[in-house]
Copies of this chain bind each other. A is one copy, B any other.
Amino acid sequence: MLLYSAPMPAPNPRRVRIFLAEKGVTVPIRDLSLRDGDHKKPEFVAINPMGQAPTLLLDDGRALTESVSICRYFESLHPEPPLFGVDAYNAAEIDVWLRRVEFRLQRALGLVWQHTHPFTAHLVKPQYKEFGETQRKAALAYMRELDTALADREWLDGRAYTIADIVLLSCIDFGLFIGVTPPEDLRALGAWHQRATTRPSSKA
């Protein structure tokens, strides 16, 4: 198999790299340069018509897309250590965190990026800047909720580092890149970010 990835600050390919590092699994990786438009070139679009990284090309020619779906696939192939939960309840609980982080934080950050950031101004026409600013507030409000949740626990599910933490790390760092910085008084979230960043997998 071959994993098409893209370097930082792209948040989605990074999730798969962190996931594989936590599993201790090595997969051949080919980096696409999003700046050079590698993901829109015919040879890559032939593999993934949506032109997105990450994409996992299997040996039989089938391709999987979507960061978390690719991680679920690797979880089936390499169950240890479990990063999607250890039993029915824990798996559901981790999925709840994953969905909240994606539907609330990632969605809001994506809209800030698309509608307020100078880097995307040539792609998103028109940008609805006033609307985008409301999403900055929404992202910061959700960071505050996360801070409350993390006050009594090391990782989101209260048990271990999981896919939900990996996705949150990718979102917080993407937020830093686009200028949506967690306020310093969110100490539990800040300590969580420090712990997640200290793991060797964060450099993958």
Q: Taking beta carbons and an 8 Å cutoff, which residues of A are in contact with B?
A: 58, 62, 64-66, 68-70, 72-73, 76-77, 87-89, 91-93, 95-96, 99-100, 102-103, 107, 115, 128, 130-131
Contacts and interface: CB of A to CB of B under 8 A. Distances in A.
Contacts of A77: 88
A62 B96 CA distance: 13
Contacts of A92: 64, 69-70, 72-73, 76
Q: Tell me how many chains of this kind the complex includes.
A: 2
- For the complex, would chain A's binding face be called helix, strand, loop or mixed by DSSP majority? helix
Nearest to A92: B73
A32 B155 CA distance: 32
Contacts of A68: 95, 99
A167 B31 CA distance: 33
Contacts of A65: 96
A44 B76 CA distance: 37
A131 B133 CA distance: 13
Contacts of A96: 64-66, 69
A55 to B, nearest CB: 11
